[in-house]
Amino acid sequence: MFSSGVKQRQAAFFFALPALVLLLSVSIYPLLRTLGLAFSSLELTISPVETFVGLNNFAKAFGDMRFWNALRNTLILVTVGVAIQFVLGTVLAVLLSEIRFTRMIWLIALLLPVMIAPVVSGFQFRVIYNDTFGPLNYLIRALSGGAVAAPPWLADTRTALLTIMITDVWQWTPFMMLLMLAGLESIPVELTEAAQVDGAGYWDIFWRIKMPMLLPVIVIGLLIRVMDTFKTFDLVFLLTGGGPGSSTETIAYYTYLNGFRFFSMGYTAAIAFIQLIIIIVIARFFMIAQKRVRGGSA
Amino acid sequence: MFRRKPLHLQLIGAAALLTALSFFMFPVIWMFLTSFKTQDQIFSVPPVLIPPAEQWNLDNYIAILTQNNGLQGVRDTALVASVTAFISVSIGALAAYSLARFRFGGDEFSFWIISTRMFPPVASAVPLFLLFRQLGILDTHWVLIIANSVFNVPFAVWLLKGFIEDLPVELEEAALIEGATFFGAFRRITLPLIAPGLVTAFLFTFVFTWNEFMFALLMTRRAVRPMTVVISSLAGGHTILWAQIAAAGMITILPGVLVVVFLHRYLVRGLTMGALKS
Amino acid sequence: MFRPRILFLLVAAFAVLASSALAQEPPSHLGVVDYQLCDNFGGVTVTVVGDAGHNLAPYEFWKDDFAAMGINVEIVEVPFADVYQVLKTEFVAGSGAFDVVTFYPSYIGDFAGNGYLLPLDDFIARDPAAVWDPNMEDVLAPFRELYNRWANQTYALTIDGDVLVMMYRQDLFENEEERAAFQARYGRELRPPETWDEWLEVAEFFTRPAGATLAGETLTRPFYGTAEFGRRGFSYAWYLNRAASNGVILFDELMETDINSPAAVAALQNMIDTLQFAPPDVLNFGYDELRDAFIGGQLAMVVQWTDVPKKAADPSISQIVGKVGVGRVPGFVVDGEVAHRSMMPVGRVVGIAADTDVPEAAYCVAKHIAYNTSLENVSTSLTGLDPYRATHLTNPEAFAPLMGLENARAYLEGLQAALADGYPDLFIPGAAQYQDALDLQINRALAGEVSAQEALDAAAAAWNEITDRLGRETQISFWRQALESYRAVGLIR
């Protein structure tokens, strides 16, 4: 960080200005409008009249079993799913960082899932997971000679959410992998070499030198994945429609139903703000954790 | 670079990579095979794994591109995604520099930036639609560039902030003492050193935009037809054109692959103390 | 950076190859319907919005006619699953982007009630009739009364008549060995099920593991009696087939629901019981899986939309060509008689946006598609539109090139029977919310999360919450209108 002064403050302002203008001009109006809606009733299927209802929408959310179920499903995806993506992505990044000559091929192969639009991959997985017509259970049965009982994947309340999670892991582990790889590549080589000269072993270097250097990248990677997993919608929309039963209804899907199927704008706004608050709390937790580890200085 | 990695770790590593490769590639290969199938081979028992030899032609690719707006979809999305990625990374790098080096606005400001990505887009879509309608930019490329930039700038800012914070500030200070402006120091010293971060940010903002559906659906009608909307349109009420969707999927991964091909060398360039001393 | 030029060269090469590939003939005028085109508007543009794909093909078929009327038709395609959200957003914003809107009739209460659509009665009544009259009397009663009108005015013209029918494997039901085995086991003759209880028995009878014998042949894979639309979205419609036939009419005059009555619970229990005779992943069966399981020769019988018999007759995708019978959806015995009910989910109608600048031209476009050329539009394989007018049912010749005259007759007869049993999807404002709340609970019961009674109690509670939230008084008045339409077509007394 630079020392502070008038010139520094001016420079700081001009560097930040474009982002400031873009974000303020586009996000302030929807945010304020939605905040107003959260305390109103606006049922667009019936009429365009908006009436103030105080905290009714939040009270409704509190007693809405569907909301809590959707939140629970989402939190499972966010915690377990993102953790798997992080661990798997880190392992792959470390492995790739040691490959030089064929790295481009590996990168392309492993990054493909993230490049396929969820609209497309959703349709592929609908066939892949199908018990009757799909290749996955066909191969499981063929390769095991029928010894392994192929699960019904999306068609059973016990496996459907897990299947959504596996699909999300497939799609987004490459994201964590590339982030971690870019982080690893930014670590000055001399740092690790110096440690080697001092007699540090492989794991010492990994845990004591690399991981601390990677911390900012880890935080942003996890944060982005947590935020985006909170928005898990496409896979649910395309693969299960929230079913079987209510087993894969996520909070983003439930918000979508309220917003774009029911046009119940007040309730949509209220549950959107509840989600915002939950994500802010999680994000704050990450920030504090990062500061603790780094001793408060960049 | 190390050379002392234990042998058993190398073996485990190789096995892990191959396992990962099959997990990540299986659906892609399935999509590739599907793009050569006929409609009756999608849902057949037993499944058709590899389409017969005479079907290895580009019929499905031609159909999506010429009969079903695929050409327009690729063009529109390529334009929107590359401009969005360029804007997001440019604006994002500048803002990240401000946050990392000047601590502009402190923690609260940087937190506010990331929080604009947290809000569920479903809730803000209708107000945004009304806003863009007032501006008269619905059904243009700009509306998608702006909407996507709003979601991608926070990502770019935070990612690049992390990379800049890891750089020793002394290099830039040395340049400033030699008479460089802040912008000059940023451009000549910081940017080259965070190349892996810039490339990663570009790739992902590009991919995020390329894959975005909700805004693409709502904010465009006819003049602009992004690829994700074109692809969704292949799933009709009576018929889902599975093979064409797969073909479209194969086409849409091309730009991402090209980005990796052209930019991957920036991802293998680690810093050296030599660079820091120059 | 990537190089767009390479991509475009590649794409240009594709385009050249493709121009030689297509060769399906669009329909030409059959001359069955008498009509006159509107006078020339002198070059106005009418923007038509609809679900993407082949159902917009008619605007391409008849572009010469539109040109003759001085109308330039511009099409906006919206993905099938997203039509409502796109239309509604544009309507709420008052964007005036569309003139002719294609939508699912479930939303007629929402769209007409909110004033987004223009009443069409004035156009319909204009002189000369050959130009303006879409001959509403010709439209089959359920579509006309339930899906085109709102608050005693006409707001939409039907262009696609969806209804569910029962399909079964005629070859299996006529097989002597199977008939004998069925007689021995159940003590009655094997026949396509008339009632939902028979449905259950027949489904049980035909469900067999791999290695068993079916109609004299050894099965290499399991065979199932039936399957349902088990995926979230339309599972409620497959349930309402049963519930409606068991006398459930959703709401009474005061919007008190009977969706958790004993009759409703029995209907749901029947559907739950059916699942044991269905493929193991039936709970993720949507339209496509359900259709392909049947035409792939895996099911003995199924309830599906009326386009599936057409698909079953197509040898390029079907393994059961010529083996399909079409019949009435089964019913429950009420007051000593079997009451059959066939749900009419989806379907398509066109309306005119209230804020259009070119109402007359827009009407001329809509009427041309919905009446003048409707027989041509429903009898070609280039669209997915299904018959909805008496004219369609009485002209099997129009369908003959597609499926042969005999099959066409049988198909239209089956259709007529199904339509006589037609039961509408909810179409009052908030329909999507009622449907979703019911669908969720039906699906939970099917998945075994809750019992039939618990599920329907929860659905009833959710319906009451929706009614209260939208305004009980207004909902009651809307529902009473709906009940009048139900009476008009004889669904209730």
CA A213 to chain CA centroid, Å, is 22
Residues of A in contact with B99 (CB under 8 A): 16
Is B237's Cβ below 8 Å from some Cβ in C? yes
| Domain annotation covers residue A123 | yes
Residue of B nearest to C9 (CA): B71
Task: Give the separation between CA C230 and CA C288, rounded to whole angstroms.
Answer: 12
Which candidate, C110, C138, C113, C134, places its Cα nearest to that of C122? C134
Residues of A in contact with B273 (CB under 8 A): 188-190
A91-95, A285-289, C241-245: segment of lowest average pLDDT: A285-289
Residues of B in contact with C99 (CB under 8 A): none
Which candidate, C48, C138, C135, C39, places its Cα nearest to that of C100? C48
Q: What does the angle CA A164 – CA A166 – CA A170 come to, to the nearest 5 degrees?
A: 115
Tokens of B241: 């054109």
Half-sphere exposure of C331 (CA within 13 A, CB side): 22
Q: Are A132 and C298 in contact (CB < 8 Å)?
A: yes
| Closest chain C C-alpha to A246 CA, distance in angstroms | 6
C314/C360 same-domain check: no
Residues of B in contact with A123 (CB under 8 A): 235, 240, 242, 245-246
Task: Give the separation between CA A284 and CA C122, rounded to whole angstroms.
Answer: 62
| Closest chain B C-alpha to C313 CA, distance in angstroms | 13
The pLDDT of residue B20 is 93
Task: Give the separation between CA C97 and CA C76, rounded to whole angstroms.
Answer: 10
**ipTM of the shown complex:** 0.91
Residue of B nearest to A96 (CA): B17
CA distance readout (Å), B50 to A150, A274, B59, B241, C245: 21, 48, 16, 18, 46
The mean pLDDT of chain B is 88
Query: Token pair 């709401």 is at which residue?
Result: C251
Q: Are B16 and A231 in contact (CB < 8 Å)?
A: no
Residue where one domain finishes, among candidates C311, C344, C377: C344
**pLDDT over 50 (residue B113):** yes
Residue-wise pLDDT tens digits, A178-230 = 999 988 888 877 888 888 888 888 888 888 888 888 888 898 899 999 999 99
| Domain annotation covers residue A244 | yes
Q: Are B255 and C2 in contact (CB < 8 Å)?
A: yes
Half-sphere exposure of C238 (CA within 13 A, CB side): 30
| Domain annotation covers residue A115 | yes
| Domain annotation covers residue A290 | yes
Q: Which of B120, B194, B204 sits opposite A231 (nearest CB)?
A: B120
Is C95's Cβ below 8 Å from some Cβ in B? yes
C197/C285 same-domain check: yes
Q: Report residue B9's pLDDT band, with 50, 70 and 90 as the boundaries.
A: confident
Q: Which of A11, A91, A125 sits opposite B27 (nearest CB)?
A: A125
Q: Domain with C72 in it: what CATH number?
A: 3.40.190.10
Yes or no: say if A133 and B42 are a contact pair by the CB < 8 Å rule: yes
The residues in A 165-184 lying below 8 A from B, measured between CB atoms, are 170, 173-175, 178-179, 181-183
Residue where one domain finishes, among candidates C367, C400, C433: C400
The pLDDT of residue C22 is 37
Phi and psi angles of residue C91, each rounded to the nearest 5 degrees, phi first = -65, -45
Mean local confidence (pLDDT), A71-84: 97
Domain count of chain A? Answer: 1
Q: Report residue B63's pLDDT band, with 50, 70 and 90 as the boundaries.
A: very high
C184/C237 same-domain check: yes
The pLDDT of residue B5 is 67
Residues of B in contact with A128 (CB under 8 A): 27, 30
Phi and psi angles of residue C157, each rounded to the nearest 5 degrees, phi first = -115, 130
| Domain annotation covers residue A237 | yes
Instruction: Report which listed range, A232-236, A283-287, C32-36, C450-454, is most confident.
Output: C450-454
**pLDDT over 80 (residue B39):** yes
Half-sphere exposure of C127 (CA within 13 A, CB side): 0
What share of chain A has pLDDT > 90, as a percent?
66
C154/C184 same-domain check: no
Residue of B nearest to C348 (CA): B237
More confident residue, B6 or A37: A37
The pLDDT of residue C9 is 40
Chains with ≥3 CB–CB distances under 8 Å to A: B, C
Is A65's Cβ below 8 Å from some Cβ in B? no
Task: Give the separation between CA A78 and CA A89, rounded to whole angstroms.
Answer: 15
Is C221's Cβ below 8 Å from some Cβ in B? yes
| Domain annotation covers residue A21 | no
Q: Domain with A120 in it: what CATH number?
A: 1.10.3720.10
| Closest chain A C-alpha to B268 CA, distance in angstroms | 6
| Closest chain C C-alpha to B229 CA, distance in angstroms | 7
More confident residue, B201 or B259: B201
| Closest chain B C-alpha to A188 CA, distance in angstroms | 5
Q: Report residue C414's pLDDT band, with 50, 70 and 90 as the boundaries.
A: confident
Q: Are C11 and B71 in contact (CB < 8 Å)?
A: yes
Q: Are B92 and A19 in contact (CB < 8 Å)?
A: yes
Q: Which of B67, B222, B235 sits opposite C76 (nearest CB)?
A: B222
- B233 Cβ neighbours under 8 A, 6+ residues apart: B68, B69, C52, C53, C77, C78, C79, C80
**pLDDT over 50 (residue C171):** yes
C349/C338 same-domain check: no
| Closest chain C C-alpha to A295 CA, distance in angstroms | 40
More confident residue, A74 or A101: A74
Task: Give the separation between CA B32 and CA B28, rounded to whole angstroms.
Answer: 6
C384/C395 same-domain check: yes
More confident residue, C406 or C392: C392
| Closest chain C C-alpha to B275 CA, distance in angstroms | 25
Task: Give the separation between CA B207 and CA B201, rounded to whole angstroms.
Answer: 10
Q: By residue range, what is the domain housing residue A158?
A: 56-294
Domain count of chain C? Answer: 2
Q: Are B236 and C384 in contact (CB < 8 Å)?
A: yes
More confident residue, A103 or C246: C246
CB atoms within 10 A of CB C245: 25
Is C24's Cβ below 8 Å from some Cβ in B? no
Is C99's Cβ below 8 Å from some Cβ in B? no
C173/C113 same-domain check: no
Is B29's Cβ below 8 Å from some Cβ in C? no
Q: Report residue C17's pLDDT band, with 50, 70 and 90 as the boundaries.
A: very low
The pLDDT of residue C404 is 82
Is C11's Cβ below 8 Å from some Cβ in B? yes
Task: Give the separation between CA A113 and CA A283, rounded to whole angstroms.
Answer: 26
Tokens of A107: 């990168």
| Closest chain C C-alpha to B40 CA, distance in angstroms | 5
Residue-wise pLDDT tens digits, A104-161 = 889 899 999 999 999 999 999 999 999 888 999 999 999 998 888 889 999 999 999 9
The mean pLDDT of chain C is 91
Q: Report residue C457's pLDDT band, with 50, 70 and 90 as the boundaries.
A: very high
Residue of A nearest to B98 (CA): A12
| Domain annotation covers residue A27 | no
Mean local confidence (pLDDT), B133-158: 94
Q: Report residue B273's pLDDT band, with 50, 70 and 90 as the boundaries.
A: very low
Q: Are B210 and A115 in contact (CB < 8 Å)?
A: yes
C155/C168 same-domain check: no
Residue where one domain finishes, among candidates C360, C381, C400: C400
**pLDDT over 50 (residue C56):** yes
Q: Which of B74, B82, B133 sits opposite C95 (nearest CB)?
A: B133
Residue-wise pLDDT tens digits, C90-149 = 999 999 999 999 999 999 999 999 999 999 999 999 999 999 999 999 999 989 988 999
| Domain annotation covers residue A4 | no
C285/C182 same-domain check: yes
Which candidate, C342, C306, C343, places its Cα nearest to that of C427? C343
C48/C139 same-domain check: yes
The residues in C 36-65 lying below 8 A from B, measured between CB atoms, are 47, 49, 51-55
Count of B-C CB contacts under 8 Å: 119
Is A259's Cβ below 8 Å from some Cβ in B? yes
| Domain annotation covers residue C107 | yes
The pLDDT of residue B269 is 59
CA torsion through residues A120, A122, A123, A124, sign? positive
Mean local confidence (pLDDT), A40-64: 95
Q: Are A108 and B261 in contact (CB < 8 Å)?
A: yes
| Closest chain A C-alpha to C56 CA, distance in angstroms | 22
Is B10's Cβ below 8 Å from some Cβ in C? no
More confident residue, C121 or B39: C121
Mean local confidence (pLDDT), C466-486: 93
C209/C290 same-domain check: yes
Is A261's Cβ below 8 Å from some Cβ in B? no
Which candidate, A16, B171, B258, places its Cα nearest to that of C5? B258
Mean local confidence (pLDDT), C434-456: 97
Q: Where are the alpha helices (DSSP H) in A63-148?
A: 65-76, 82-97, 103-115, 118-128, 135-144
| Domain annotation covers residue C22 | no
| Closest chain B C-alpha to A216 CA, distance in angstroms | 5
Q: Report residue C402's pLDDT band, with 50, 70 and 90 as the boundaries.
A: confident
Yes or no: say if A193 and A184 are a contact pair by the CB < 8 Å rule: no
C353/C210 same-domain check: no
Q: By residue range, what is the domain housing residue C53?
A: 31-161+345-400
Q: Are B13 and A95 in contact (CB < 8 Å)?
A: yes
**pLDDT over 60 (residue C15):** no
Q: What does the angle CA C349 – CA C355 – CA C359 come to, to the nearest 5 degrees?
A: 65
Residues of A in contact with C447 (CB under 8 A): 156-157, 243-245, 247
Q: Are C449 and A245 in contact (CB < 8 Å)?
A: yes
The pLDDT of residue B196 is 87
Q: Report residue C350's pLDDT band, with 50, 70 and 90 as the boundaries.
A: very high
The pLDDT of residue B271 is 52
The burial of C89, by beta-carbon neighbours within 10 Å (0-12 exposed, 13-18 middle, 19 or more buried), is given as: buried
What share of chain C has pLDDT > 70, as a percent?
95
Which candidate, C262, B75, B25, C155, places its Cα nearest to that of A173? B25
- A67 Cβ neighbours under 8 A, 6+ residues apart: A61, A251, A254, A271
More confident residue, B33 or A145: B33
Q: Which of A60, A138, A141, A262 to mutate against chain C (most C CBs within 10 Å)?
A: A262
Domains of chain B: 57-277 (1.10.3720.10)
Residue-wise pLDDT tens digits, C293-346 = 999 999 999 999 988 887 888 888 889 988 988 889 999 999 899 999 999 998
| Domain annotation covers residue C5 | no
DSSP letter for each residue of A99-121: --TTHHHHHHHHHHHHHS-HHHH
| Domain annotation covers residue C432 | no
Q: Report residue C13's pLDDT band, with 50, 70 and 90 as the boundaries.
A: very low
C16-20, C187-191, C215-219: segment of lowest average pLDDT: C16-20
Is B66's Cβ below 8 Å from some Cβ in C? yes
The pLDDT of residue B270 is 52
Residues of A in contact with B203 (CB under 8 A): 178
| Closest chain B C-alpha to C130 CA, distance in angstroms | 33
The pLDDT of residue C290 is 93
Which candidate, A260, A287, A285, places its Cα nearest to that of A272? A260
